[in-house]
Every structure is written in structure tokens, then in C-alpha cells.
Amino acid sequence: MPTTFALAIAVHVLSVIWWIGGLALVTAVVLPALRAGDMGDARPAFHAIESRFEPQARIAVLLAGLSGLYLIIRLELWGWFLQARFWWLDAMILFWLLFMVLLFLVGPAKLLERATRQGGDDRKVWQRMQRIHLLLLVIALIIISGAVAGSHGF
């Protein structure tokens, strides 16, 4: 029977994979297809995909946060936040907080939807969305790489 600690690590890793994997899919596949017109009318297609993935992303982000908090408490890692070599831990939490705001405040308030409606040219809107998603994905990959390397002695 797995320990609570092992379960927390598994939940943490799997939820991050689901969350960031979804971000990668949207960035590398969905938004380019929308920009190219491969999916017909882009807005309804995007909303159909978003309405299915957003609840999954919310659950994944919540599980990542809860399991991460448990691991910080269990391993007594509070001092790590004050050490520069563990920069990735601070970055993880800031990135997580950003997505909490995006998924639980900005998304439900339809702020992005309003911003895209005011964007004018659809091609520019989708290009801007892809650039933002690409930036978020690159940041996520840097943080994940730092966490893996940092937790193994680098």
C-alpha cells in the first residue's frame, strides 16, 4: 500500500503533466490550427475545446497546489524559499498562482473573451493568443527543468 507521501508525489506529478500537457497541446496544435483556418469558424471551435478542457485544467491546478502544499509541509521545505538555488520552487508557486487567477477569476469573469472580441482582426487575435500561450509554455518548461535538475543536485 502506497504511503501518503508517495501518493502526494504521484498526484503532484500527474496533475502537472495534465495541466502543462494541455497547455502544450493548445499552444502547439489547437491555436495554430485555428489560425490556419483548419477548424472552420475559429471562435466556436475554440470555445468547444475550451469548455471541455478548462474544468480539467482547474482540477489539475487545484490538485497540483494541494499536493504541492502537502509536500512542502511534510518535507518542511519552508527554508528553501529563501535560498537562491531553489529558485524553481518560488517560480512554481508564482506560476501556479497565475493559473489560479486565470482559471478561477479571469476565465469565469469572461475577461479574455471580452478582450478577444475587442481585438478586431481574428488572425491577430489568434496570433496574440498563441504568443501568450507560447510564453506561458516556455516559462513552464524552464520551471519544470529547473525543478527536475534542482531536486537532483544541480
The DSSP-derived string for 6-57 is HHHHHHHHHHHHHHHHHHHHIIIIIHHHHHHTTTSSHHHHHHHHHHHHHHHH
Q: Cα-Cα-Cα-Cα dihedral of 90, 130, 107, 72, to 10°? A: -20
Q: How many domains does the chain have?
A: 1
Residue-range definition of the domain harbouring residue 15: 4-150
Give residue 1's pLDDT: 54
**Nearest-angstrom CA–CA distance, 15 and 73:** 19
CB 9 within 8 A of CB 61: no
Average confidence (pLDDT) over 120-145: 90
- pLDDT per position as a tens digit, 46-104: 888 988 999 999 999 999 999 999 999 999 999 999 999 999 999 999 999 999 999 99
